[in-house]
Structure 1
Amino acid sequence: MKEQYTALTRSTQAVTPETRTQEFLSESSAGTQRRILWIDGVGGFLLVESDEVLIGQAIPGTPVDVAVVGDLSRRAAVLRRTGGDYLLQPFQQTCVDHQAIDRPQLLRNTAEIQLGSRVKLQFTKPSPLSATARLDMTSLNRFKPNVDGILLLSDSCIIGPNAGSHVLCPDWRSELLLFRQGSEWYFRSLVEVQVDGKPMQGQIPVTAGMR
């Protein structure tokens, strides 16, 4: 039986109502468009490619990479990726694993980050084969755009049913690899998948709006 699943990537400009699109784009870093990966039955994930990621409050016009609706500073913290390691630089009251920090802190897999008194995030780096990491909201706050998680993309991202996947899809039978080649992104599948209604396999270029 062929795999039946959908992975859809798109910029917010391509798929959201005009008023919301303008709001999202005004909050993106350096005026760049945001890209979101949508997976049927799993959720939506903001794709962030930078090695330096600014986290802050979701205020129109504020140039942050990860915007949070909640009680935190406009510039709350920066995540810096060096090789396969991530350092968190706090700009306000910050705790990592319930310990207050005031200088750059190396993050371990499953680290809990608290920004201010209420905003809590979990940092995970599920695969030793990839430097890509993920941020999930564990408090009652939310990201803006309203997504289920943030993927801090390095050169590859594993989507599939196994524990080491960056995006866990328990109903899938095999993995889908999202990887960068030069300045372009591709999916790689070892089984036949449907892309825009056509069967494809192997290396598949990623385009906005693809299904």
Structure 2
Amino acid sequence: MKADATASNSSTATRWRLWVDGCGGFLILTGDCWTLGAAVPGGVADVGIRADVARHAGRIERVDSDYFWRNNEADDLSDTGRSQSILISPKQPLPVAGSATIRLRRPSTLSRTGVLILDPPHRFDGHVDAVIFAGDTILVGPSSDHHVVTSSFPDRAVLAYRDGGWQAKPLSQPGGKPGKSGPTFVELELGRRIQIQSLAMTLERA
């Protein structure tokens, strides 16, 4: 599907930072269109990168479950005078000018959520390790098919955006057994450390 089908030209992302003990920090963005650019004083990009990229490098658009890159550079304009949308492949870095290597992960086919990662030595702004483009859910767990990989902890959890806030619940009962009755969601109150089995996390506004 082409990115022009539904994606907007402007960003309407809402921002949070999720800190997971022993795993790092993650910028969570909602919406379906996010701008990307250099992390500079007064910068307005949704995703700021501490690297030699343009202040307004381009934007990432999500249409259904696909992600597209649209460059802001003038030499990437099509015959219509608009920049061309490029389908983002998880096997290839984003075609962003500069030395930064930026990749998009889609770890679970069951979720529209994508994870933007940046190869060292470059870093995201805000001291976060990755950027999560939140879809329906965010999966937290020890293996690579999770959006937040917690290799030091065995338990798994799911985060969902409900009624204007984030909620979380474990995906298994203590001892690793699947929950028959179903664990219940708990609210992730801003600034409050929440313990979900072996996982401890804190959510704040970004």
Question: Which whole-Å CA distance do the structure 2 matches of 1:113 and 1:37 have between them?
Answer: 24
Which residue number in structure 2 is paired with residue 205 of structure 1?
187
Indicate the SS of the match to 2:185. strand
Counterpart check, 1:91 vs 2:72 = yes
Bigger share in strand: 1
Residue aligned with 1:111, SS = coil
Q: Deviations over 1:77-111 (max 9, x none)?
A: 1000111111110113999xxxxxx6211112243
CA distance in 1, matches of 2:145, 2:120: 24
- Once the 2 structures are TM-superposed, how far is the Cα of residue 177 of structure 1 from its aligned partner? 0.2
**Shift in CA distance, 135/157, structure 1 to aligned 2, threshold 3 Å:** same
State the 1:166 CA deviation. Answer: 0.6
Equivalent runs, 1:74-153 vs 2, <5 Å: 74-92=55-73, 103-153=84-134
Q: Deviations over 1:159-196 (max 9, x none)?
A: 0012210111123223110112242221011436xxxx
Q: In the TM superposition, what whole-angstrom CA distance separates every residue of 1:21-61 from its partner, at most 9, and x where no partner exists?
A: xxxxxxxx989884211111111111111210000111222
So what's the TM-score if we normalise by structure 2?
0.73
Where in structure 2 are there 5+ consecutive unaligned residues? 1-9, 77-82, 175-182, 194-206
TM-score relative to the length of structure 1 = 0.72
What one-letter code is carried by the residue in structure 1 that aligns with 2:185? Answer: Q
8 Å CA contact 2:12–2:33 kept in 1: the answer is no
Corresponding residue pairs, total: 169
Distance 2:25 2:163 in 1: 25
Residue 154 of structure 2 is matched in structure 1 by 173
Q: How far is 1:114 from its partner?
A: 4.2
Q: CA RMSD in A?
A: 2.6
SS of corresponding position for 1:154: coil
Q: Deviation of residue 126 (structure 1)?
A: 0.5
Q: 2:38 maps to what in 1?
A: 57
Unaligned stretches of 5+ in structure 1?
Answer: 1-28, 96-101, 193-200
